[in-house]
Amino acid sequence: MTASTTDKLDSGFGIQDSGEQRNSRIQLHTTVEDHHIAKMAAVALGLTVLENAIPSPLPGVKPGLANIITLIVLARFGWRAAAWVSLLRVVAGSLLFGNFLAPGFFLSLSGALCSLAMLALSMHLPQRQFGPVTHSILAAFAHIAGQMVIVYLWLIPHSGIAYLIPFFATAALVFGTVNGLVAARFMDNDDKPVLESQS
């Protein structure tokens, strides 16, 4: 059976009408890429859970370990796959922790969207000079910027939160660097596609 649309469907599902019989059934068309994305998102989710067990000195300061996966997926499968993994992780993570559509969810979402936008730009930097560490740092800064905007516009509309920016920015630089290094090191050690090595 051919899919209902011309371009390959990723994680979408097509409803198929088998001819004259009104015998419609729903079938999930999954591509190999879907499976890769799902696996990567699952690993990212695992890291999110792990990270939530680590106590944080300041609410909102988290290492963002799941972004290691986003960086690897970005380097291996491109931006679209990275965006899928990142957003799936945000949504599934919020379901897991029970804060779907709660403020924390929107903070994660806006952070993720801003980092993805930043990654879309930074991935065009010359690869010889700029590696995962650069992407990670830039994405981390974009992440806190996105979160601060939500915090300011919605949660705490007070300029006093600007006082906290240095803390968040420092955390972003440190954790961005560390995550980038881990991602780079992982890809160096593992020249085979990451998915084969994990399955």
Partner 1 sequence: MNSHESPAAFLRELRPGDWLTLLAGGLCIILLTNKIWNGGIADTAVIRSSGKIFSSAPLSRDQHIEVPGPLGTSVITIEKGKARISSDPSPRQYCVRQGWLERSGEIAICLPNEVSVELTGGVKRYDSLNY
121 touches partner 1 (CB under 8 A): no
Which of 79, 100, 130, 152 contacts partner 1 by CB under 8 A?
130
59 vs 126 by CB, closer to partner 1 = 126
Which of 131, 147, 148, 150 contacts partner 1 by CB under 8 A?
131
165 touches partner 1 (CB under 8 A): yes
Phi, psi angle pair for 95, to nearest 5°: -65, -40
Least distance to partner 1 from the beta carbon of 35, Å?
24
Instruction: Say which residues have a Cβ less than 8 Å from residue 108's Cβ, sequence separation at least 6.
Output: 90, 93, 94
198 touches partner 1 (CB under 8 A): no
Angle at 16 between CA 12 and CA 19, to 5 degrees: 165
186 touches partner 1 (CB under 8 A): yes
Phi, psi angle pair for 191, to nearest 5°: -75, -20
What CA–CA distance (Å, rounded) separates 71 from 82?
Answer: 7
63 touches partner 1 (CB under 8 A): no
41 vs 138 by CB, closer to partner 1 = 138
98 vs 163 by CB, closer to partner 1 = 163
Which of 6, 21, 23, 159 contacts partner 1 by CB under 8 A?
159
Residue ranges that bind partner 1, judged by CB under 8 A:
125-126, 128-134, 137-138, 141, 158-160, 162-163, 165-166, 169-170, 173, 176-177, 180-181, 184-186, 188-189
